[in-house]
Amino acid sequence: MKPLTSSKLAALLGVSKGTVLRLAKAGEIPFLRLPSGHYRFYIEDVRRVLEPTPLELLEMRRNKIDRK
């Protein structure tokens, strides 16, 4: 699959382009840096990092139940 620009990734994730770039610069999402300095992202790699682990899902469910 072709890598995405920061704008296209932001649109897919429902966040701003600035948020995508901030996450990339902080090392929180994987990216490629082109010789021109632009960032590119593979959606599969980003989703793998951002998806909650099974343990995190369990914790979210517990917190949701505790709030009721």
Separation of alpha carbons 43 and 55, rounded Å: 23
Q: Does residue 34 lie in a domain region?
A: yes
> What are residue 26's phi and psi, to 5 degrees?
-80, -5
Top pLDDT among 64 and 9 is at 9
Q: Does residue 11 lie in a domain region?
A: yes
Q: Does residue 1 lie in a domain region?
A: no
Q: pLDDT tens, 38-58?
A: 999 999 999 999 988 888 888
| Total domains present in the chain | 1
pLDDT at position 66 is: 66
pLDDT score of 68 more than 60:
no
Q: Report the CATH number at residue 39.
A: 1.10.1660
pLDDT at position 62 is: 85
The 3-state DSSP class for residue 56 equals: helix
* CA distances from residue 53 to 28, 40, 60, 62, 67 in whole angstroms, order as listed: 15, 25, 11, 14, 21
Matching residue, tokens 């082109």: 34
Write out the residue range of the structural domain in which residue 44 sits.
6-67
Tell me the mean pLDDT in the region 3-32: 97
pLDDT at position 14 is: 95
